[in-house]
Structure 1
Amino acid sequence: MDCVKIGKLIAKLRKEKNLTQRNIADALGIQNKTVSKWECGLGCPDLSLWPELSAILGVDMKQMMEGEITSNKPDSGNIDKVRFYVCPSCGNILVSTASASIFCCGRKLERILPTDAITAPKITVEEMDMDYFVTFDHPMTKEHYLSFVAYVKSDRIFLNRLYPEQNPSCRFPITTGGKLYVYCIKHGLVTCQKINEELSKSNDEELGS
């Protein structure tokens, strides 16, 4: 470990959090002068202190131990590049609009990549008041269910969380031209056809009946 680099980073992060060396020391149950030594590059934190220290400073422990925080590229503002993450431990759903380091339950999450659209469930779309009412043909058992549905359009993401043994349906404000994402715990993430195309298809079927 490069104690000088790590010490400078600890000092920088501490000041960003508006914390004093004593605040850090009290939280870790160590002497104030120990934190001062770290920041002067005269030693590194004991391995047992790293998890709590990284939590206090709000950074990834691995990067802090390297003495350098890697910045992501600036968000381009193109929400079509949205990325979804699902924690395998707790099922938490997280979203980013650009490259990001996402952590949950102590582990780094990998972006979920869309799979073959052939596995997408059959969709029925209706207009209801000012919303799209979307229904999915899915068993929704505890072993096989849709975890979330997201509708991405322009500068907005409408995210609906679904649960096993729940009716597989959701509502989104009517905004044509968006992209619908569906995540099944068994088949993964799929990108469905544009919701307005499905709506047009449904309307045509109704007119033809």
Structure 2
Amino acid sequence: MNHYVAGAAVKALREKKGLTQAQLAEILAVSDKAVSKWETGRGLPDISLLGPLAQSLGVSIPELLSGETITNRNRTANILRSKFYACPVCGNTIHATGEAMAACCGITLPPLDPEEPDEAHACSVDYVEDEIFVTISHPMEREHHISFIAYVTMNRVDMVKLYPEGNAEARFFLRGSGQLFWYCNRHGLFSRTVQRKGRKNG
């Protein structure tokens, strides 16, 4: 398959949600011509739009990529077995629901093993109405920074890509208990649990 997102799938999901091309474009802050190109196979959404696009269409990223609704009983287990991969050359981040063969820049990437955060990689979670605000007190320099923060729940994965000179923080809609992951380009992947609202931790 040449396209990582099938245009027919985007069109079918958009129509199922009752959205016009213009309405979907407005949600994603792109032009309706861009949406039209995606649906006709004359263009592809930027990789950074996969999460917002899937959310707007009411599906998970794996469902969007496969063009099929996942209805098997193992969907929850698959999401909770999420694996992350990071390219040491370009900094690209890859997510998979379970073990996968991942490669980038000609390198086969091993799955990252999450560790308990130490003091230098501590994560703070604040609950603000129906959202969680995640902050990590960490340098954000080109040579040493947090490159992403991800929030994994039973039925979806939300990831925020971070860049040097920015802030190591992210805001997510609270979807219940789950797991936070964040990646330091020098020291690896860290993780902690997030409780549903009313059971704050950390």
Coarse TM-score class (shorter-chain normalised): 0.5 to 0.7
| Superposition deviation, residue 142 in structure 1 | 1.8
CA contact (8 A) 2:133 2:169 kept: yes
Q: Distance in 2 between matches of 1:199 and 1:184?
A: 27
- 1:113 maps to 113
After superposition, the CA RMSD in angstroms is 2.8
Q: TM-score, normalised by structure 1?
A: 0.55
Q: Distance in 1 between matches of 2:188 and 2:195?
A: 19
Structure 2 residue identity aligned to 1:142 = R
Structure 2 alignment gaps of length 5 or more: 2-72
1:183 has 2:165 as partner: no
Q: How does 1:56-75 map to 2 (within 5 A)?
A: none
CA contact (8 A) 2:176 2:195 kept: yes
CA contact (8 A) 1:148 1:160 kept: yes
CA contact (8 A) 2:148 2:162 kept: yes
1:100 has 2:100 as partner: yes
Q: Distance in 2 between matches of 1:142 and 1:198?
A: 37
Structure 1 alignment gaps of length 5 or more: 1-12, 14-74, 203-209
For the pair shown, the structure with the greater C-alpha radius of gyration is: 1
Q: Distance in 2 between matches of 1:142 and 1:193?
A: 28
Q: Tell me the SS of whatever aligns to 2:118.
A: helix
| Superposition deviation, residue 89 in structure 1 | 1.3
Structure 1 residue identity aligned to 2:128 = M
Q: Tell me the SS of whatever aligns to 2:114.
A: coil
- 1:136 maps to 136
- 1:156 maps to 156
Q: Tell me the SS of whatever aligns to 2:200.
A: helix
Cα 1:98–1:189 change in 2 (3 A) is same
Structure 1 residue identity aligned to 2:114 = P
| Superposition deviation, residue 194 in structure 1 | 2.4
Q: Tell me the SS of whatever aligns to 2:80.
A: helix
Q: Tell me the SS of whatever aligns to 1:193.
A: strand
Q: Per-residue CA shift, 1:63-96, capped at 9, x if unaligned? A: xxxxxxxxxxxx9431111000011111111011
Q: How many residue pairs were aligned?
A: 130
| Superposition deviation, residue 199 in structure 1 | 6.8
- 2:167 maps to 167
Q: Tell me the SS of whatever aligns to 1:117.
A: coil
Structure 2 residue identity aligned to 1:98 = G
Q: Per-residue CA shift, 1:163-182, capped at 9, x if unaligned? A: 11101110111122110011
* Identical amino acids, percent of aligned pairs: 35
